[in-house]
Amino acid sequence: MSENLYDILAQGFPADRSQPAMLLADGTALSYAHLEEQAGRYARLLCDLGVKPGDRIAVQTDKSANAVFLYLGAVRMGAVYLPLNVGYTAAEMAYFLGDARPALVVCRPQAEAAMREIAAKTGVPNVHTLDAAGGGSLTEAAADLEPLAESYPAKADELAAILYTSGTTGRSKGAMLTHRNLSSNALVLRETWGFRPDDVLLHMLPIFHVHGLFVAINTTLAAGARMHFLPKFDADQAIGLLPGCTVMMGVPTFYVRLVGHAAFDKQAAANMRLFVSGSAPLLEETFQAFEQRTGRRILERYGMTECGMITSNPYQEAPGRERRAGTVGFPLPEVEVRIADDAGHILGTEEIGVLEVKGPNVFAGYWQLPEKTAEEFRPDGFFVTGDMAKIDAEGYVHIVGRAKDLVISGGYNVYPKEIELVIDQLPGVVESAVIGLPHPDFGEAVTAVVKRTGEIGEEEIIAACAKDLAKFKVPKRVFFVEDLPRNTMGKVQKADLRKTFGETFKAA
Ligand code: MCA
Ligand code: AMP
């Protein structure tokens, strides 16, 4: 039996391929037959371009149905799909392409000239474009091709995708995900969350991260279900579409915005069987406000790029197994979790330590970083997540903090080191510390605290960051201090800074 992720998903496609897979904002319905054909054409084009199984395909485009077909086509012919946030700047893209050495980069038409320059410098042989409506040179080149009929016979442990995640050193690492990693998670989630062919998912997440790409799309396709596929989250649009949907997946900001919307009520959620939240902690107050407003309990789950989904609150609720606010539920089937101290000693119930994971969902390592990979695994194969957690007496996992220096803003991860490196090299700056402060909409807001000698001001620092860094990483505020607080070891005390400036966004 084929171990190619595409084939495993396709086993769940409806027998009647005229059934819709995607419903677009303008009312267009795209059938499974269309999805198969278009993915097959892109797969054929990649072969014709000389892309070989195992070669990377880097994609930085707007969200579109065709971008999904390109992902499926790439996986189908054995290439390694590498999606990148559209917000990444030229400097960031040069790093990713230089590190991943893809055989092809697909970009927005308006970015083509700049991308060709980066591609030439980094040795990427092919550049194509794909626009928000699915047009562009890639689609034109594929238009008359015979769809690829046979998938590449990938082995389960061959790579299907690489997703970059930032790191504490400020250097992004490519997490290598295999066909098995992605297919096991899709099939487990289909079962665990009760996906059925008549489900309609509201898809408003970006498709360059695990949540929008793998959790939402793979699970829906593996069930032969359909999705309302929208370019981005919009609360008005969501409220309009929810009555025709059965499942929604979102980051906590989506739910904060829904409960903050006067028109969001029981009626809007009446047809829904499941609301899933993840990528960042869902505040208990949001969980409760949502339940009061709709009578529905949001199902919070926990995951990360390197592991896909790890734990989930129960879908089927029963006494003692309810969806509980402030917890991320239980390990998914086939996934083992444990709590350990820094030295790797396993801790007991209610003890706080770092969460470790093992299972078919756990990635194959960081691209070209075998030593870094080895550091993050225990000898018995458990991956060390860097999330501080405990498991309570009933088995619920609670994420209580992070051992890694990480800010999560609106579901996007921001590693302070990367921003500090940009700020520290500015003239007039002595040093900086970047922290996350509570923010009512984004959960946490990136904030810089700076020691300066010169004339440099807040606006200049923000502008300098915006030049090199994607927008979601740019500090929303910059504060100046005489000295950064340090402990006796000389380490900056970020907890003190979070306390000092903690009220900054409270009234935002
Ligand atoms: C946009 N901006 C942001 C963010 N998004 N700033 C900080 N954090 C953000 N997340 C900027 C905009 O560029 C804009 O800047 C200003 O903030 C306000 O934009 P707004 O219109 O409010 O933003 P939006 O376009 O509505 O986007 C907010 C959003 C979006 C809908 C929350 O960020 C989003 O879709 N986030 C989802 C991220 C996600 O998919 N994460 C999953 C990672 P200006 O005003 O200067 O122009 S996968 C993962 O974490 C694991 C595996 C897991 O467990 O799922
Ligand atoms: P990423 O690297 O984008 O995959 O982000 C993964 C990180 O998001 C995890 O390591 C956690 O810190 C965080 N995360 C994801 N889901 C949750 C959740 N439900 N509660 C708390 N943190 C979460």
Whether 206 is in the pocket of ligand 1, judged by its Cβ within 6 Å, is yes
Whether 250 is in the pocket of ligand 2, judged by its Cβ within 6 Å, is no
Tokens of 371: 């030593």
Residue range 451-478, pLDDT digits in tens: 999 889 999 999 999 999 999 999 999 9
Tell which wins on pLDDT, 490 or 241. 241
Alpha carbons 276 and 299: distance in angstroms, whole number: 5
Alpha carbons 193 and 212: distance in angstroms, whole number: 16
The 397-402 sheet, strands edge to edge: 336-340, 353-358, 383-391, 397-402
Whether 165 is in the pocket of ligand 2, judged by its Cβ within 6 Å, is yes
Alpha carbons 429 and 461: distance in angstroms, whole number: 9
Alpha carbons 60 and 132: distance in angstroms, whole number: 11
In three-state secondary structure terms, 508 is: coil
pLDDT category at 404 given cuts 50, 70, 90 is: confident
* Model confidence at 374: pLDDT above 70: yes
Residue range 34-91, pLDDT digits in tens: 999 999 999 999 999 999 999 999 999 999 999 999 999 999 999 999 999 999 999 9
**Whether the Cβ atoms of residue 409 and residue 437 lie closer than 8 Å to each other:** no
pLDDT, residue 508, reads 52
Residue range 290-345, pLDDT digits in tens: 999 999 999 999 999 999 999 999 999 999 999 999 999 999 999 999 999 999 99
| pTM attached to this predicted model | 0.96
Whether 229 is in the pocket of ligand 1, judged by its Cβ within 6 Å, is no
**Whether the Cβ atoms of residue 276 and residue 193 lie closer than 8 Å to each other:** yes
pLDDT category at 2 given cuts 50, 70, 90 is: very high
CB atoms within 10 A of CB 157: 12
**Whether the Cβ atoms of residue 212 and residue 278 lie closer than 8 Å to each other:** no
pLDDT, residue 488, reads 87
User: To test the ligand 1 pocket, which listed residue (217, 276, 412) has its Cβ within 8 A of the most ligand atoms?
Assistant: 412
Alpha carbons 171 and 184: distance in angstroms, whole number: 29
Q: Cα(414) to centroid of ligand 1, in Å?
A: 11
Q: Which helix (H) or strand (E) holds 368?
A: none
Whether 305 is in the pocket of ligand 1, judged by its Cβ within 6 Å, is yes
pLDDT, residue 176, reads 98
Q: Which amino acid is at 343?
A: A
Whether 402 is in the pocket of ligand 2, judged by its Cβ within 6 Å, is yes
Alpha carbons 376 and 359: distance in angstroms, whole number: 15
Alpha carbons 472 and 469: distance in angstroms, whole number: 8
Residue range 99-147, pLDDT digits in tens: 999 999 999 999 999 999 999 999 999 999 999 999 999 999 999 999 9
Alpha carbons within 13 A on the beta-carbon side of 53? 13
Strands (E), 102-211: 104-107, 126-129, 159-165, 173-178, 200-203
pLDDT, residue 308, reads 98
pLDDT, residue 286, reads 98
Ordered structural domains, the chain, with CATH: 5-19+26-223 (3.40.50.980), 233-297 (3.40.50.12820), 309-402 (2.30.38.10), 407-501 (3.30.300.30)
Alpha carbons 476 and 471: distance in angstroms, whole number: 10
Alpha carbons 187 and 34: distance in angstroms, whole number: 23
380-384, 393-397, 490-494: least confident range:
490-494
Whether 205 is in the pocket of ligand 1, judged by its Cβ within 6 Å, is yes
Distances (CA, A) of 80 to 90, 159, 193, 232: 22, 6, 28, 25
**Whether the Cβ atoms of residue 310 and residue 267 lie closer than 8 Å to each other:** no
Whether 193 is in the pocket of ligand 1, judged by its Cβ within 6 Å, is no
* Model confidence at 222: pLDDT above 70: yes
Q: What percent of the chain has pLDDT over 70?
A: 99
Atom of ligand 2 nearest to the CA of 304: 4
Task: Name the residue at shortest CA distance from atom 9 of ligand 2.
Answer: 304
Q: What percent of the chain has pLDDT over 90?
A: 96
